[in-house]
Amino acid sequence: MVVVMEERASEAQVEHVVARLIEMGMDVHRSTGVSRTVLGAVGQGRADKELIETMDGVKEVVRISEPYKLASRTFKSENTVVTVGDIRIGGDEVIVMAGPCSAESEQQVRAAAAAVKRAGAKIFRGGAFKPRSSPYSFQGLGEEGLRLLRDAARAEHLALVSEVMDVSQIGVIDRYCDIFQVGARNMQNFTLLRELGHARKPVLLKRGISATIEEWLLSAEYVLSGGNKDVILCERGIRTFETATRNTLDISAIPVIKKLSHLPVIADPSHGAGRRDMVAAMARAAVAAGADGLIIEVHCDPERALSDGAQSMFPAQFDRLMAELRIIAPAIGRSICLEPMPRRGWGQ
């Protein structure tokens, strides 16, 4: 249930309504918009709509018909902007996150961070704990990988996103990263999502490989209902009958999410396409469709990558894509990091 307060409602009136809702067994999430306060009452209690409607300072009470509540546009009509330092995800600017699938060595992460920074990425990506389909595949460097990623990100003044696979990894990832990535395979790891609801850093929530948009938003609800308002959704491709690409990047999910939810949504064309020659086309399409950002795999020597080499772009391809996005983004009223960053010396 959403309680929309009058524009002139006093703090005392708001607090009174909050107290009554809590008495009714509800959890109350407050959203203070530009002009008025909105209260989201969720939980297993029984909120008496008629009673709340008659309380002083209440403008209207709306039942949220969607199963997800705090993630819905009914609860919050304005777009959520997730901030990481001075980076704003969900604002006018299209934010690009890029880097290798996995951290492999110091030299590899340093080279990748420098390449993506030069091209205009704002956030460095890289996995240290890897969810691999086979237990015999490279599983990531663990904490050592996080340290390498952080050092490389710091050297290039980039923020850092890395995947958390399990509750036991939250503490160590929190020490090194700015954003927790929840991978497709963990989208319905509800214990992990609940725990991340108490984290103080944003959560990048990938869509599960066969999840509906409703299930995906319900997973976001787990994080939001724990009190963490900073969820970024990421469309990364779903499994369909098609085998020509690794997954089917559901571009239509972007406008659907924009309609149903206030949360920012980005796209991952790398896992979507699974082939580097198709990543740029899918990235262009995602931005044109209204994505708030992209997360892209880039590797300086993808043929020798320990994971996802086939879908990792060469730095030169990534440079070209960024130049194309500088044309597409303004055409739909968005901005993007304007110029490639100056190179640090000749021949680099």
CB of 160 to Mn ion, least distance (A): 16
Indicate whether 278 belongs to the interface with ligand PEP (CB under 6 A). Answer: no
Query: How far is Cα 226 from Cα 241, in angstroms, rounded to an integer?
Result: 36
DSSP 8-state symbol, 128: S
Query: How far is Cα 166 from Cα 330, in angstroms, rounded to an integer?
Result: 39
CB of 37 to ligand PEP, least distance (A): 37
Nearest to 146 by CA among 154, 156, 157, 138: 154
Nearer residue to Mn ion within complex by CB, 156 or 268: 268
Give the total of residues touching ligand PEP (CB under 6 A): 10
85-124 footprint of Mn ion as x/- string (CB under 5 A): ----------------x-----------------------
Helix axes 143-155 and 106-119, enclosed angle (nearest 10): 40
Nearer residue to Mn ion within complex by CB, 135 or 333: 135
Selected from 236, 258, 299, 334, the binder of ligand PEP by CB under 6 A is 236
Indicate whether 271 belongs to the interface with ligand PEP (CB under 6 A). Answer: yes
Question: Contacts by 255-260 with C-beta closer than 8 Å and gap 24+?
Answer: 255/289, 255/290, 256/213, 257/213, 257/217, 257/233, 258/290, 259/73, 260/66, 260/71, 260/72, 260/73, 260/213, 260/217
Nearer residue to Mn ion within complex by CB, 140 or 197: 140
Selected from 57, 120, 127, 197, the binder of ligand PEP by CB under 6 A is 127
Point out which residues pair with 99 in neighbouring strands: 297
CB of 91 to ligand PEP, least distance (A): 23
CB of 22 to Mn ion, least distance (A): 43
What end-to-end distance do the CA atoms of the chain give, in Å?
Answer: 56
Residues that bind ligand PEP (CB under 6 A): 101, 127, 131, 183-185, 206, 236, 268, 271
